[in-house]
Amino acid sequence: MTVELISVGTEILLGNIVNTNAAFLSCECAKLGLSCYYQTVVGDNAERLALVLKTALERSDIVILGGGLGPTQDDLTKEIAAKVCGKEMHLDEDAKKHIEDYFARKGKVIPDNNWKQAMIPADSVVLHNPNGTAPGVIIEYGEKRVILLPGPPNELKPMFLDQVVPYIRDMLPGIILSKTVKICGIGESRVEEMIEDMINAQTNPTIATYAKTAEVHLRVTAKADDEAQAKKLLKPVVKELKNRFGTTIYTTDEAVTLEMAIAELLLANNLTISTVESCTGGLLAGRIINVPGISDVFKTGFITYSNKAKRKLVGVKKSSLEKYGAVSRQVAEEMAVGLKDFTKADVVISTTGIAGPDGGTKEKPVGLVYMCCMAGNVKVTRELNLNGNRAKVRESAVANALILLRECLLEYVSENTFGKE
C-alpha cells in the first residue's frame, strides 16, 4: 500500500521552518510498512493545493495532508480536500463541543471564525485534538483515504500516533512489527559490512540502517498475520544482531536514548557522576541532565574553560599545562582525577579539545579531543580526531564522551559483579 505526504504552508516554502512533520510521518509510515514515493510542499493556495492533491490521489492509496486546518480564511486544506473528493461539509456537533470546551478551559471567548473548524466533510472520521482546536479528518474516498492533520507538530504527532496509526493498521492485511536495535561506537559503513550477508538475504523481516552522530540504529521490521507471528519472525534476527554487536548495543527499545541507557546504569548501580568539561563547555552535562530523574545521581558539573579554572577547580598542574598543553592526554587525566578528589563522585569524566575554527596547529589540529573517564578502578583515556565545524566537533565530542562513559560503566559494573560472586 502506498502513501504520499503533502505539507501545506507558505512558511515552509519560504524556508521559515524546517519540515520536520514530513520526516516524522515518513518514518512512522515506513514502520507501518507503507511505501512512500513522493512528498510535496505547497502553499495555502486553493488552485495549487487542489492540483497537488488530485495528482497524489491518482498515484497513491493514502494521502496525508499536514497544515492549513486553522481558523482563518487562509486555511483551506479541509475545504479543498472536500471539494476534490466531492464531499459536502456539515457542522459536526462533537467537534463543535470540543471547541467550546477548549475555550472554556482556557477561560477565553470563542472567536467567530473558530466555528469553521467544526465543519467536517461527509463520509469522514473525525480525529479528536487534545492539544488544539483543529480536529483532524480522515475522508473515505472510495478505496482511497485522505487524511488531514493540523500543522503544529505537538498536535500532529500525537494525533497520528494515537488515532491514525490504529486506523491504518486496521486497513492493512496482517500486521507490521518493528524492533529498533541501537548501536553506539561503530561507524555506519562498518555496521553495514558486519550485516551485509543478512541484508542481502533479507525478505521478511527486513533490516534498515539509520546513521546518527556516533550511533547507528537498525530497524528490523516483520510483516505477519498477527502479533505473535511477527514477534516470532523478529526474535531470531534481533538475537543474531545481539550476537554480532554485543555490548555495543545499548538498547532495543526505540524510546531509549544513549543518555537514558547511561542514566539507567548509574541509577541501577547507585553510582553518582560528575563532569568537567572544557571544549564541550556544558553540553555533555546538558545532555545527561536531559534524562528526567537524573538528579538522584548527577550532583555537580564543572566547566573549566580557562587554564586557571582547570588548575583552581580540579587541580591540574601548572607544569602539565606548560609541558603538554591544555589539550593533551595528561591534562584530560588530571582533570578527571582532580574532579574525583573534589566531588567524590563514583564516576567522573573530563573533556578537553580544540573545537575551532581557530586554535589548531599542525601537531594539534582542530577536532583533536581528549577525554578521560574513571569509574572505580576503571580508567580510560581516549584521543579523538573529529570532523566538522565548531558546533559539529562539540556535538561529536559529547556523543563520544557518552560512549566512553558507557563503556567504563559496563566494565566497572561487570568487574564489581564478578568480585562479589
Q: Is 52 left (phi over 0), alpha (psi -120 to 50) or beta?
A: alpha
Contact between 357 and a second copy by CB under 8 A: the answer reads yes
Contact between 292 and a second copy by CB under 8 A: the answer reads yes
Contact between 286 and a second copy by CB under 8 A: the answer reads yes
CA angle centred on 52, ends 46 and 56, rounded to 5°: 140
Binding residues for a second copy, rule CB under 8 A, total 69
- Least spacing, CB of residue 91 vs a second copy, in Å: 29
Stretch that binds a second copy, among 39-47, 188-196, 198-206, 259-267 (CB under 8 A): 39-47
Q: Which of residues 232 and 299 has its CB atom nearest to a second copy in the complex?
A: 299
Stretch that binds a second copy, among 67-75, 115-123, 156-164, 275-283 (CB under 8 A): 275-283
Residues 6+ apart with CB under 8 A from 242: 181, 249, 252
Of these, 213, 247, 290, 385, which contacts a second copy (CB under 8 A)? Answer: 290
CB 44 within 8 A of CB 75: yes
- Least spacing, CB of residue 293 vs a second copy, in Å: 7
CA angle centred on 290, ends 289 and 291, rounded to 5°: 85
Contact between 382 and a second copy by CB under 8 A: the answer reads no
Rg (CA), the chain: 27
Of these, 89, 110, 194, 208, which contacts a second copy (CB under 8 A)? Answer: 208
Of these, 1, 2, 19, 194, which contacts a second copy (CB under 8 A)? Answer: 19
Pattern 132-171, a second copy, x by CB under 8 A: ----------------------x-----------------
Q: How many residues does the chain have?
A: 421
* CA gap 167, 153 in Å, rounded: 20
Residue 218, CB-side half-sphere exposure with 13 Å CA sphere: 33
Contact between 334 and a second copy by CB under 8 A: the answer reads no
Q: Which residues of 71-104 are buried (b: 16+ CB within 10 A; e: fewer)?
A: beeebbbbbbbbbbbebeeeebeebbebbeebee
Q: How far is CA 205 from CA 169, 178, 224, 236, in A?
A: 18, 9, 9, 10
Stretch that binds a second copy, among 88-96, 140-148, 261-269, 277-285 (CB under 8 A): 277-285
Inter-residue long-range contacts of 361-364, CB under 8 Å, 24+ positions, other chains counted: 364/325, 364/327
CB 285 within 8 A of CB 301: yes
Stretch that binds a second copy, among 26-34, 70-78, 126-134, 189-197 (CB under 8 A): 26-34
Of these, 206, 252, 269, 300, which contacts a second copy (CB under 8 A)? Answer: 300
Stretch that binds a second copy, among 137-145, 186-194, 260-268, 299-307 (CB under 8 A): 299-307
Stretch that binds a second copy, among 127-135, 185-193, 258-266, 383-391 (CB under 8 A): 383-391
Find where cell 569509574 sits: 375
Q: Which of residues 294 and 373 has its CB atom nearest to a second copy in the complex?
A: 294
Burial of 31 (0-12, 13-18, 19+ CB in 10 A): middle
- Least spacing, CB of residue 209 vs a second copy, in Å: 9
Amino acid, res. 261:
A
User: In the complex, which residues of this chain contact a second copy (CB under 8 A)?
Assistant: 12-20, 22-30, 36-43, 45, 48, 52, 55, 154, 208, 210, 275, 277, 280-286, 288-290, 292-295, 298-306, 308-309, 312-313, 356-358, 388, 390-391, 394
